[in-house]
Structure formats: structure tokens, C-alpha cells
Amino acid sequence: MPSRPPRSLETFANPAPGRDLRIHMEIPEFTCLCPKTGQPDFATLVLDYIPDKLCVELKSLKLYMWSYRDEGAFHEAVTQKILEDLARATRPRFMRLTAKFYVRGGIFTTVVAEHRKRGWKPQPVVMLDTFVTESSVRG
């Protein structure tokens, strides 16, 4: 493992470029430093995106996230920077990054940043009804 992780993101070809494939990732161990106090800030990052031609490779994403461990950054700035880097690397149709920072001084902070490809329109959401079968009622 390198002592200083790279801040580069690798990609691979989207296996389903004709679909609006939704990719959901949860990154529960994100850390950076408070730029005022130097104390660690901990967050869970939630990444949802619809790739166009490229998807982000997971090992490079892990190392990229690790690269923030010793960097001072305000919550709003680091969330926006990560979104910009991911969007630049993958050029997605849509991307949303939700950063849920743990409590500090009695305050939880959640920052949401989004990117949309110009001209992209989401497909309508399909809601499927759940139904109860006789066997599921009997247990």
C-alpha cells in the first residue's frame, strides 16, 4: 500500500451504455481534517450515478477517498471537489454525492451536490406494487 495514496481516478467502459444504469455506492469511512482545528471529520459518502460511457473503478476510488485523510477541508468544499473530480473522470449522465458528516459540537452536517449532463433527461420512475401471496401470509 502506498504511504501517500494517489488522487487519480481510473475508469472502465460502461457495460450497459444503452441504459440508464443506476450505480449506488456507500463509503462509510471517509475522513478529512477540520481546517480550523485540525481535528478529524468523519463522514459517510453516498454516491449515486448514471454512467454514460465510463464507470469509476473501485480500488482507485478507495485510494482517492483515502487521499483526503490528512487534508483540511470544509464539508461543503470537499463534497463539491469530490463530485467535480468524479464527474470529470467519468462524464456521467447524472451524479449525486451526499456527504453525511458525523456530529461535531452537537451539529450533524449533510451536503448534497449534483451533476447533470447537458440535455440528459431521466427516464420516468416505475413504481411496482408489492403484493401479498397466500404463502407469505401463512409464514
Tell me whether residue 41 is one of the annotated catalytic residues. Answer: yes
Calpha distance 110→44 (Å, rounded): 10
Calpha distance 114→134 (Å, rounded): 43
Alpha helices in 1-110 (DSSP H): 58-66, 75-90
Question: Which grid coordinates are listed for 91?
Answer: 462524464
**Chain CA centroid to CA 45, Å:** 6
Tell me whether residue 34 is one of the annotated catalytic residues. Answer: yes
Longest dimension (CA), the chain: 60
H or E element: which one contains 102? strand 94-104
Out of 20, 34, 48, 52, the active site residue is 34
Calpha distance 127→139 (Å, rounded): 26
Look up cell 461543503; give the residue.
76
Catalytic residues: 34, 41
